[in-house]
Amino acid sequence: MMGLVVCSRGERREAVGRPKFASAARLKQERKLIMINNSSLTKWDRLSQKQIDQQFTHEMVHGLQCSPFEASAILDAVYRVYAPFFETSGTLKPGQVLFQVVSIETSPSTRLADGKQVTVTLTFDAGAEDLKVRRKLGVSDLRRQRMQRMAVEAFQQGGLLTLEDLANRLFNCGQRTLSRDLDVLRRKGIVLPLRSTIKDMGRSISHRSLIIEHWLMGKEYSEIARDTHHSVPAVQNYVGKFKRVIALAEEGYDVHTIAFLVKVSASLAESYHALYQTVKMVPHRRKELCSFLKKGAPDTPIRRDP
């Protein structure tokens, strides 16, 4: 007499030599449930992540000759350090701030309250890069480096910082301190793309004189435009006015008359004439300027003796 037999997929029956298996329909239903469970979103996300991890591990093993254990340990360290930044690409990096500035499209004649503004991402602290400057060159050089970096970042994102922004909202220092920093940078040939520079606002004429100085030293218009953050037509306009100022000065006009005729300030006319007398011009610029002076400045009256 046969005893009890337990069936893995069937029913327990007494005195039966072969178990009675479940029907094909029941097995199909169970298989469907198993497949649905295996294809859950969590599992597929995990599998996708494993593929990326495998690619990283492969690069470490075959590219840097690490052992699989070392590659796995490095991967774990990467996740621990950079995990907060993997969640979304929109998060700020350490040392960065969101800052609201005037748009580059805003006219200088428009009130700030009525002008368009944009939000830009500025890197106030660049970590090891800034620390190196602080240790080797000191606080003043670090401040100038940060000024230059943030001004360029805002400009590249369609905004313009002002000296007031830098002094009162970012560095919390006096504007005179930053004005001295700007003078130091200008003497090195560095012009920051601030609103006063790009829009030709305020009393400062240093950037215009610097553009002319670069031109007299032989730089091309495109190179000057890139270095001073101006457009090529703007640089050409400055050079054209410089030529007219020198032509009228050579004709014997006084500085106020020159300023009126060329439509520049008297101080700028004096600055242009001083550059003409002091800057050592390259031969081809001297030849170009002499040719212009011989022809006479267009659209400017030529004084004739009675």
Residues 159 and 145: their CA atoms lie apart, in Å, by 19
Token reading at 292: 């212009």
DSSP 65: -
Residues 60 and 289: their CA atoms lie apart, in Å, by 62
What is the b/e burial string over 199-209, where b = at least 16 CB atoms within 10 angstroms of the residue's CB? Answer: eeeeebbbbbb
> What is the enclosing helix (H) or strand (E) of 117?
strand 117-123
Residue 164 Cα to chain centre, angstroms: 20
Residues 141 and 124: their CA atoms lie apart, in Å, by 14
pLDDT tens-place values along the chain, 306 residues long: 444 444 444 445 454 455 554 455 554 555 554 444 544 555 445 444 546 777 788 888 888 889 989 988 998 888 877 765 565 456 778 889 888 888 888 887 787 777 788 888 999 998 888 988 998 899 999 999 999 999 989 988 888 898 889 999 999 999 899 999 988 988 887 878 888 777 665 555 456 777 888 888 888 888 888 777 777 888 888 899 899 999 888 888 888 898 888 888 788 888 888 888 888 888 888 888 888 887 764 444 443 333
Residue of 166, 82, 160, 156 whose CA lies nearest to 124: 166
Phi-psi region of 195 (alpha: psi -120 to 50; beta: other; left: phi over 0): alpha
Residues 106 and 159: their CA atoms lie apart, in Å, by 9
Which residues lie below 8 Å from residue 155, measured CB to CB, with a gap of 6+?
104, 193, 198, 229
Residues 47 and 53: their CA atoms lie apart, in Å, by 10
